[in-house]
Structure 1
C-alpha cells in the first residue's frame, strides 16, 4: 500500500509489503468509472450482458419483401410512438447504469476483502459489530483514502451512517451545484460501497451499503447489517 510515512496498521515485519506513489490510488479512483463504462460497452460477459443500446440490429435484405416488417408505427398516432420510444430509451439507460454500478460495486467488494485479509490478521478478534465499524472507519478508511471518517452515527439496531466531509474521489470533481452534481458523483460512490461491503464480509458481517452526496465533496454511507455479531 501507499503512505507518505508508514503508519499503523502497516506491519513492519511483513516481508511482502510493497509501496507505490500515493497519487496512484487517486488516479485509479478517478479513472475507474470511465474504465468500467468502456468495459460495459466493449467487453460484456455472461454475468454482465451487452447493454441493449450497444447491440447492433441485424441488417435486413431490402430486396426481399419478407425482410421488411410491417410498420407498426403507421397504425399509431405520432404522440404514442414518441412516448413509447422515450420509455424504451429511459429503460435502456437505467439498465446500462445498473450494469455499471454492479461492476463497480463488485470490484470494490474484492478489494475490501483483500484489505481486511491482509491488515487485520494480526489483530484480536472483534467482539461486536461496532468494533468492526470502528476498524473500518479508522484503519481501512485511512489505508484507502488517507484519512479517517469524519463522523459515525448509529441507531444501535444495525444501522450505521458514515460521513466523510472531504471524500477523496470527489475532491477534484467539478460540476454544477444541485442535482447535476449529485447525479455526476453517484457512479464514483459505488466502488467505495463495494469496499465497505467486502471489508465487512471478510470480518463476518453481512451488510447492505448505500451512498449519496449531500454536496461535493462530501459523501454519506449508510450500512445496514444483516447478522447480529461478527463471526470472527
Structure 2
C-alpha cells in the first residue's frame, strides 16, 4: 500500500513546523503533501491532493477549520487542532471525533496517530461530522434541545437599490457568495451581509439544513436527491432548477431520501 498522506493547516508557521516535526518522529511513514496558512488554502489543497488525514487548526483566516471540514468532498479524516475550549472538547468527545489541544504533546499525538493508523488499515467508516459541526458553529448558548431566541420569521435583504423584508418561508436556500449571502427565493435573488454561520443560529434547524459550508437549504422545498457518476450527492429543489451539492459531512442526513 502507498504511504498515508496528510495536510497540516495552521496560520502560524512555527506551529506547522512543530507538528510536522512531531509527526516525523511518531509516524515516519506519513507523507506531508501540503501545508496551508489559512482556510482557503487548506480547502484547495484537500481538494487537490485528497490526503488521508487533514490536521486543521480551528481558528484560521479566510475559513475556519470547521468551515473547511464542512466542504470536504474527499475521503479525508479530520483531526482538529485547537486552543483549549471545554465546550468544543466535550463536543469532540461526544461525537468521537479526533482533536489535539495546543501545545500538542507527544503523548496526545501518539494516541491520535495510533487511532488514525488503525482506522486507515481497517478502512473504517469516516465519522459523521454534521452534528459536531452544528454544535460547534451554533455555540453553547443554543442546544439541540432548543432554547435561545425564537427562529427568524423574515430577513431584511436587498435587490439593486431596493430593500425588502423576505418572509423566511419563501426562502428556497441561502448561499454564501464572497462578501454576501445570496437569498434565493421563488421570485429571484436578494443579498444580505449576515455571515452564514451567524444566520444559521437564527434559523429553525428542523426546517433549514446546512448541506455545505456555503449552503443552507429550506427542506420544505427539497424534492429529492441525485448522485452523479462519481457518487457525489446533490439536492434537487421544487420551484427551482437548482441542484445543490451536499458535502461529505452532511450526506448521511439524506440516506432515507
Structure-2-length-normalised TM-score: 0.25
* Structure with greater proportional helix content: 1
Q: Specify the structure having the higher radius of gyration (Cα).
A: 1
Q: Identify which of structures 1 and 2 has the higher relative contact order when contacts are C-alpha pairs closer than 8 Å and 6+ apart.
A: 1
Whose strand fraction is larger, Structure 1's or Structure 2's? 2
